[in-house]
Structure 1
Amino acid sequence: MGIALPGPGRCSQKDGIRVLWQGPARWLVLAGAESGTEERLRAIVGRDAAVIDQSGALVSLHLEGSRVRAALSKILPIDLHPRVFARDDTRSTAAGHIGIQIVCVEDTPCYLLLIPRSTAPDFARWLIASSAEFGVGVE
């Protein structure tokens, strides 16, 4: 597919497909359903790896703005400063009891958060409430 598998704490992307490192020998591939990515991956890995459709498991939130780093820093126990968390960096972390994966999409700052579908409403309410001072709202 022409995308290098990223190392620890990194992601890579090409042609609308993003690959996130999740642990030793584990990656999460994000692509649109219409891309045919799942079938191509199955053909590439054969019996050497498992390809599992997770499209119904996660909710993605795209967050950006001049105060998004400050807002997320209130609820995430990781350093989001661009010196240590820059474009194409990714981390698995927790916001309270909710496990999330965060990706730095752009240094502007712009982040992609992946949250288990079952806990996404709780996370969204918590994020909005804790970020009200920054003018966070829902579009």
Structure 2
Amino acid sequence: MLNETMDTVPLAERSVAVRLESPFVSVAGLLKAQEGRASKAFAMRELPFRDLVNVRGDLSDPAFVDAFAQVVGCQPPAQPNTVARGNGYDVLWLGPDEWLVRSNALVPAGMLEAKLAPAFGETYAAAVDVGSGYTVVEIDGARTRELLSRGCPLDLHPRLFTQGQCAQSVFFKASIVLIPTGDDRFEIVVRRSFADYFGRIMLDAVASLAS
């Protein structure tokens, strides 16, 4: 009887009843304690439940580019490791035919995929919601680049890696996408499976700043 009842409820209404749980739930206490100690040197907070969509397509296909721009508000960036700004979305270059689109604010999961997929129509393109598999962290402070350099192999000098850019890399053993959003501020896209490890290793690195 329960299954029969649920089958009659529209999918959009069923999703409202789903309880969202942060990938950092297991380290929530540690993160909360760190927020209480936040200083000008370093601060970290999670930006959970962003709409994240992986998009694949061909930039030489005007139908794909136009459909993407109509929904997102900008064309996919063609230059490697750059970010394009749309209507409430950032588009991160991941490869010649791959981008990660993320919302700038908390929005119901799956909204962008539901718009992009039908907009692409018969074009050789795909839009896949990956929001449940990732989360976003914001870090800032005067020693943020120093901290990142302890576990990230990228050259993070502000003359080389600044706003408008992004890069896939690692922080120690955690796969990340790193996005500068200010002089000493970054957003980091982290896989859910690495969230606990990332949170703990980041806080360990923060503690080492004082040593």
Using structure 1 for the length normalisation, give the TM-score.
0.87
2:138 corresponds to 1:66: no
1:121 aligned partner: 196
Cα distance between partner residues in 1 of 2:177 and 2:144: 16
2:89 corresponds to 1:17: yes
1:44 is aligned, of 119, 122, 147, to 119
Cα distance between partner residues in 2 of 1:72 and 1:122: 15
Bigger radius of gyration: 2
Structure 2 unaligned segments of length 5 or more: list them. 1-69
Runs of 4+ in 1 over 3 A off after TM superposition: 32-36
Kindly indicate whether the alpha-carbon contact (under 8 Å) linking 2:147 and 2:205 is maintained by their aligned counterparts in 1: yes
Number of residue pairs the alignment of both structures matches? 134
Cα distance between partner residues in 1 of 2:145 and 2:169: 15
1:55 aligned partner: 131
Q: CA RMSD in A?
A: 1.7
Kindly indicate whether the alpha-carbon contact (under 8 Å) linking 2:152 and 2:171 is maintained by their aligned counterparts in 1: yes
Cα distance between partner residues in 1 of 2:209 and 2:118: 47
What per-residue deviation string (whole Å, max 9, x for no partner) do you get for residues 42-71 of structure 1? 233223211101010101101111111111
2:114 match: secondary structure: helix
1:122 match: secondary structure: helix
1:3 aligned partner: 74
2:168 aligned partner: 92
Residue identity over aligned pairs, in percent, reads 28
Using structure 2 for the length normalisation, give the TM-score.
0.59
Kindly indicate whether the alpha-carbon contact (under 8 Å) linking 2:148 and 2:171 is maintained by their aligned counterparts in 1: no
1:131 match: secondary structure: helix
The structure whose residues are more often helix, as a share, is: 2
